[in-house]
Amino acid sequence: MNKKKCTIYGGVAVALAAATIAVPVFADDMTDMTPAQLRAEADRLEMAQDRAEMTQAVVRDVLADANSRTTFRGGDAPVTVNVHGFVQTRFSYSGGGGLETEHGFSVPRARLILSGDLFDWEYKVSGQWSDSTNTFDLKDAYAQGDLFDGTFRVGQFKSPFMREVLVAQQDTLMTDRSIVSNQFGQGRSQGVQWSRDFGVLDFAGAYTDGFNTANGAGVQNGQAFTGRVGFDATDWWNIGGAISYNDLVSSDYLTYTIDTKVSTGGLDLTAAYVATSGDAGDNWGATVQAGYFCFDNFQGFVAYEYGDLEGITENLSTITVGGNYFINDNVKWTTDFGYALNGISGAWDLGETGWRAGDSGEYIIRTQIQVSF
């Protein structure tokens, strides 16, 4: 018996035990009760019986599909727990650009996600282990529910800014996100957010501790105001834009972005421009990514990014080509080849991309198996 079955059957056993003891028998004790006490006891037993029947209904629902179930819930249960996540195993080979050749395996991300319903609200808690930091870090930790005809969110989450960062990591086009999104992206922070879908127009606004301030200890003494708007020009073309003012302890700056996405047939095309001004300097970057499903389970792609950091003489310029092979609904195999047309400065946030600071001509080959559960 696997662990999932053990967990479910264990929960069923607890539920059955609770249902069994919920209605005790007091026949011998009732002879000395007054009529009022008897009526109160009858009401109590009726309520206990109702709870027992509800528990038994949940048990029947769970056992009906226990072999495939990943959550212990039944019907309209007010509290649910879904367990899911993904593991990425990658092999990289890089060199050129005056760098020594490097190669080897890594596990960039092993993420565990808990989500579900909390009465009329929803919640999500996720954590990730990375072999680059050898730590397990909290990612998302928020609850959200309906408020003022929209959705109110509180906790730790991604601010509504760059489109590429808002796409879930397991759904990115390439093996990893672009260097530009690492440099200018919002990351996660603690705060509050309100969003609403108006049909062809959607809006999200957040007040947080500032970009990339996840897992801060105590008061941050910084703040950020972020707003994003998306517009469906057609059923296959979306245009978006966002602006954010970060007033942090060490600096304050304004950053903004405009992006677009086209999804039609087997084509997925996205483009974005992002820039900052203020204490962070006058910096900007742009990305274009296009993927096309040549077959039902194979998607080829090409991506280009360009960026300019104040004080850095050589601008970022890389091109990447590759493909995604969807082995099944839970396993994706991605392979890509990246080439640096200009040198890559160490001032860029390279994150888990595998790129290194080097001269023009640097290349990287990445192949990755992603297993979702």
The reported pLDDT for the residue numbered 340 is 98
- At 343 the pLDDT is 98
pLDDT digits (tens, 9 = 90+) for 202-229: 999 999 999 999 987 566 678 999 999 9
Q: What's the rounded Cα separation, in Å, for the pair 290 and 306? A: 15
Statement: residue 11 has pLDDT above 60 = no
Q: Is 82-372 a domain of CATH 2.40.160.10?
A: yes
Say if strands 135-147 and 121-130 run parallel, antiparallel, or are unpaired. Answer: antiparallel
C-beta neighbour count of 230 within 10 angstroms: 20
**pLDDT tens readout for residues 333-350:** 999 999 999 999 999 999
pLDDT the model gives residue 78: 86
Q: What is the pLDDT of residues 135-167, one digit of tens each?
A: 899 999 999 999 999 999 999 999 999 999 999
Q: What is the mean pLDDT of residues 307-330?
A: 97
Mean pLDDT estimate for the chain = 87
Q: Flag whether the pTM goes above 0.95.
A: no
**Residue 302 clears pLDDT 90, i.e. is over it:** yes
Summarised one tens digit per residue, pLDDT across range 283-293 is: 999 999 999 99
Structure tokens given for 295: 């077959």
Residue 318: its pLDDT value, please?
98
- Rounded Cα distance between 123 and 82, Å, is 10
| 342, two tokens | 């200009």
Give the tens place of pLDDT for each residue, 63-100.
565 555 555 555 566 899 999 999 999 999 999 999 99
Which sequence spans correspond to the domains of the chain?
A: 3-64, 82-372
